[in-house]
Structure 1
Amino acid sequence: MKFTGTSSYVATDDLKLAVNAAITLERPLLVKGEPGTGKTMLAEELADAFGARLITWHIKSTTKAHQGLYEYDAVSRLRDSQLNSERVHDIGNYIVKGKLWEAFEAEDRVILLIDEIDKADIEFPNDLLQELDRMEFYVYETDQTIRAKKRPIIIITSNNEKELPDAFLRRCFFHYIAFPDAETLRQIVDVHYPDISQQLVSQALEIFFDIRKAPGLKKKPSTSELVDWLKLLMADQIGVDALREADASKALPPLAGALVKNEQDIMLLERLAFMNRNRR
């Protein structure tokens, strides 16, 4: 099982090596990188490349590790007992399977995405150590052990909002998706818009990287935001000349709301443009 990329996802050689190393080692692949660099999409493309089912566990600040295994719905059981329901005699009726359970009981090998693990409590990764290591867990309510029929390929993403515990990191293969260079971005744009004007792409990339290089920027525009911006430029038929004029006379390019997402950055870019004009 080797990942070689897909026609709709530009994967660098380093990323392909990391994916295949994690598969060989049978360890989760921990992927970090700026938001919008394709971490979540990697799992989707892996599923497409291998013809496998994708099971996604989106992590929130309130998510607990046991929710990925199962939850016991005691409230429903109490209600059914008050209604004298026959279901109450089988406790299994009140076990709600989590995403790990779903992945473990799959007959075929699946892709399990644990998305944005750094959003959860700091103890969350440690609470999953044994389950991800042994590929099994115990259900106390029904006195059964759930073991993985086929070891899933596990992709874990992080935006680096919190440091992850060393014990957890030791059990993962790590890869950092560096921000793409101009040539890689061109390839990504070509995948999304094969008929786009290359002159437009060149001018848009120049403006895009100028914004990213602005000192003190709170949120740098991401790859996905560049793709959105180009889509808007084409939809509104804004050509190269309009971008060049805007670049020379204004702090922000047309439809900049696709790239710049907060007022502090808008004010910063306007201030930098004002200072540059005064130096001329």
Structure 2
Amino acid sequence: MQFQGTDQYVATDDLKMAVNAAIALQRPLLIKGEPGTGKTLLAEQVAEALGKPLLAWHIKSTTKAQQGLYEYDAVSRLRDSQLGADGVEDVSNYIKKGKLWEAFAADEQVVLLIDEIDKADIEFPNDLLQELDRMEFFVYETGETVRAAKRPIVIITSNNEKELPDAFLRRCFFHYINFPDAQTMMKIVDVHFPDIKQELVSEALEIFFDLRKVPGLKKKPSTSELIDWLKLLLADDIPDDVLRNRDTKKAIPPLYGALVKNEADVQLLERLAFMNRRER
């Protein structure tokens, strides 16, 4: 069982090697990289390429590790007991299974995505150490132990908002997705826009990478933002010579709102353009 990428996802040799190594070692694959470099999409494409179901657990700042296992609704049980409802004696009626329980209980091997783990509290990864290591956990309310019927392929993403604990890192296979170079980016664009004019792509990529090189930029445009920008350029039927012969006195490229995401960066680009005009 080898991941070799898909028609919709351009995976580098290093990334394919990392996915296959994590599967062989039966360890979670921890993926880091800039936002917009395809970390979440990777899990979807691994599931599609290997013909496995995908279970996605998207982490928020309020998410607790216990929610990935199960949640016991004691309040509802108490209310139902006061109302004399049927089934109150069966505590399992008030247990909501989490994504890890679903993955462990699945009849076939699944791909489990734990997305943006660094959004949660710092203790969140530590609270999942034993469950991800042993692939089992104990349900105190029912007295049962839930074990993985088929060990899931676990892919964990992080945007580096918080440092992850060493004990957690030791249990993972790690890969950092480097930002694509121009050649790889061209392949990614071809996947999304197979019929796009290469002249337009060439000019757009030059502007895009020049923008990323601007010193002091708070938010560099990402791959997903480049795709959005190209989609707008095509929708507005902007000819490639508009990009090639663009007025350098203008601060920012056409339809810049797809690339530049805050007013500080807009003001920075305007200042740079003003200085460029002064020098001329």
Using the size of structure 2 for normalisation, the TM-score is 0.99
Structure 1 residue identity aligned to 2:226: L
CA distance in 1, matches of 2:141, 2:29: 32
CA 1:84–1:172: 2 relative to 1, 3 Å: same
Matches within 5 A, 1:11-50: 11-50=11-50
Using the size of structure 1 for normalisation, the TM-score is 0.99
- Give CA-to-partner distance per residue, 1:64-90, whole Å, 9 cap, x none: 000000000011101111110121110
Structure 1 vs Structure 2: percent identity of aligned residues? Answer: 77
Match of 1:157? 157
Matches within 5 A, 1:140-219: 140-219=140-219
CA distance in 2, matches of 1:50, 1:158: 23
Superposition RMSD in Å: 0.7
CA distance in 2, matches of 1:247, 1:231: 22
Q: Is 1:137 equivalent to 2:169 in the alignment?
A: no
CA distance in 1, matches of 2:68, 2:239: 49
Moved over 4 A (4+): none
- Structure 1 residue matching 2:112: 3-state secondary structure: strand
Match of 2:223? 223
- Give CA-to-partner distance per residue, 1:225-273, whole Å, 9 cap, x none: 0011001000000111211343523111111100000000000011111
Match of 1:121? 121
Question: 1:274, CA displacement in angstroms?
Answer: 1.1
CA distance in 1, matches of 2:6, 2:269: 37
CA distance in 2, matches of 1:246, 1:63: 47
Q: Is the 8 A contact 2:249 2:276 kept in 1?
A: no
- Structure 2 residue matching 1:199: 3-state secondary structure: helix
CA 1:259–1:162: 2 relative to 1, 3 Å: same
Q: Is the 8 A contact 1:246 1:252 kept in 2?
A: no
CA distance in 2, matches of 1:81, 1:45: 46
CA distance in 2, matches of 1:196, 1:248: 25
Matches within 5 A, 1:75-114: 75-114=75-114
CA distance in 2, matches of 1:151, 1:12: 26
CA distance in 1, matches of 2:139, 2:247: 61
Match of 1:276? 276
| Structure 1 alignment gaps of length 5 or more | none
CA distance in 1, matches of 2:247, 2:122: 44
- Structure 2 residue matching 1:190: 3-state secondary structure: helix
CA distance in 2, matches of 1:119, 1:113: 14
Q: Is the 8 A contact 2:104 2:146 kept in 1?
A: yes
Q: Is the 8 A contact 1:104 1:148 kept in 2?
A: yes
Question: 1:275, CA displacement in angstroms?
Answer: 1.1
Structure 2 residue identity aligned to 1:176: Y
Structure 2 residue identity aligned to 1:269: L
